[in-house]
Structure 1
Amino acid sequence: MSVPRINVDNWHSTFSKRTFFGTINHMLVMGQPMTEILKWTILRGRIMDKSTPLQEVAHLLDPALDSKIQELHLYGYDSVNAESIWNYLVNKKWKEIEGDLPLYLVVNDILTLKSGDFMNFTTRMEYKSAASSRKFNEDELQSLLHGQEGEKKDKSE
């Protein structure tokens, strides 16, 4: 069940009386379970799933992504963009996580991303894509696996 967007910008992130009574009133009107309402209120309405496309949450994550991209550009990694960072997070960092990701966790993972880990992942993915796109014939494969020895054995026989 999806919780509709309500104006929570003026609410406090802790359980003040105002937040609590607003939650109760909203629950009475919408008829939704308390756990969904509390989850919505505590996280200020910003819950993501790791299958969420970057375009849907980019407006929330732009400051963190821009900061990390600038940092990686300072280190000389000029090809880094928001999509590549998102790809790293989804396929490496959040690989074992099931269910929803709160906004604070996503922002924390972006800001604490280590350049070495990111570049290792990127390099591995490039090697995998290059290896899967290149098809070797039998002679090339033998030459790669056995080098010069394979050629010498063939000549001596």
Structure 2
Amino acid sequence: MSDDLQRLEEWAGALIGKVQPAQRRQLVRQVANDLRREHARQIAQQVAPDGTPYPARKNRKELRGKSGRIKRQKAAMFNKLRTNAYLQIQTDASQASVGFFGKVARIARVHHEGLQDKVAPRGPSYQYPARALLGFSENDIAELRRSLLDHLTK
């Protein structure tokens, strides 16, 4: 996968180097928005970038002492994390970053890497299963190529 990304970077770098700086910023922002939209869709579908489904959520009754307090048992994970307020893009003329920044980055990292964290500030600790939130798939690389070619042919 990293070889594919390296080849894509070399190929795209040669093409983007010939574009004016204003158009380059516009292109980089468009590509980043497309990636953010695709990752938000994958998070909503509860699948990792490689297409595997997320591990099932642990029943919350096992984590809390009182039963009957939780009204929504089957709520999708990461509903807020996939919004534009949290899944952000940062761009400049030569690069773009799609990810979680600030305080929410810690929460996303815990889930992405499957680390141990407290369920609540004074609650029990839990070893979260790894749920890959961000990453490149073959479809993402093909979409990047398509976006670059579409922009350059206009």
Taking structure 2 as the reference length, what is the TM-score of the superposition? 0.31
More helix by share: 1
**Bigger radius of gyration, 1 or 2?**
1
Greater strand fraction, Structure 1 or Structure 2 = 2
Question: What TM-score do the two structures reach when normalised by structure 1?
Answer: 0.31
Which structure ranks higher in relative contact order (CA pairs < 8 Å, sequence separation ≥ 6)?
Answer: 2
